[in-house]
Amino acid sequence: MTDTKTRIEDLVKANDVVMFMKGTKSMPQCGFSSRVAGVLNYMGVEFADVNVLEDADIRQGIKDFSDWPTIPQLYVKGEFVGGCDIITEMTLSGELDQLFETSGITYDKDAANKIREANG
């Protein structure tokens, strides 16, 4: 687990935004991963994707690392933000915009507003 934990720490530290997901940002392989990747892609957020289906150690290791039982998991500036439900709520409330702004993450504010308008 130590090697896996180190690999995860390195990924989280090396990328401003990283999502551990099933599949990739261009081809998600589960609905929850697809929803979060879709939000980030639509908002123009540059993020690293880590496909947990390709590595069983990472798949279990990320759950242990965050003490969070589900995939996907989103990290911003080294901090665990949450999974699909939390990211969805944060997007709709505007909290995700605030997190990106305070973290210096570039995103499309108009796209974020369109998501809220479409779901309001």
| pLDDT tens sequence across 47-58 | 999 999 999 999
**Whether residue 26 has pLDDT greater than 60:** yes
> Is 30 labelled a binding residue?
yes
Contact 9, 38 (CB under 8 A): no
**Whether residue 7 has pLDDT greater than 60:** yes
Q: What is the pLDDT confidence band of residue 1, given thresholds at 50, 70 and 90?
A: low
**Whether residue 118 has pLDDT greater than 80:** yes
Contact 84, 96 (CB under 8 A): no
For residue 36, the enclosing domain spans: 2-118
DSSP designation for 28: B
Extract long-range pairs of 85-88: CB within 8 Å, 24+ residues apart: 87/35, 87/36, 87/39, 88/35, 88/36, 88/39
Q: What is the dihedral of CA 64, 84, 41, 117, to 10 degrees?
A: -160
Angle 84-34-19 from CA coordinates, rounded to 5° = 60
Read off the pLDDT of residues 45-87 as tens digits, 9 standing for 90 and up: 999 999 999 999 999 999 999 999 999 999 999 999 999 999 9
Q: What is the pLDDT of residue 120?
A: 79
CATH, residue 83: 3.40.30.10
Question: How many domains is the chain partitioned into structurally?
Answer: 1
**Whether residue 3 has pLDDT greater than 60:** yes
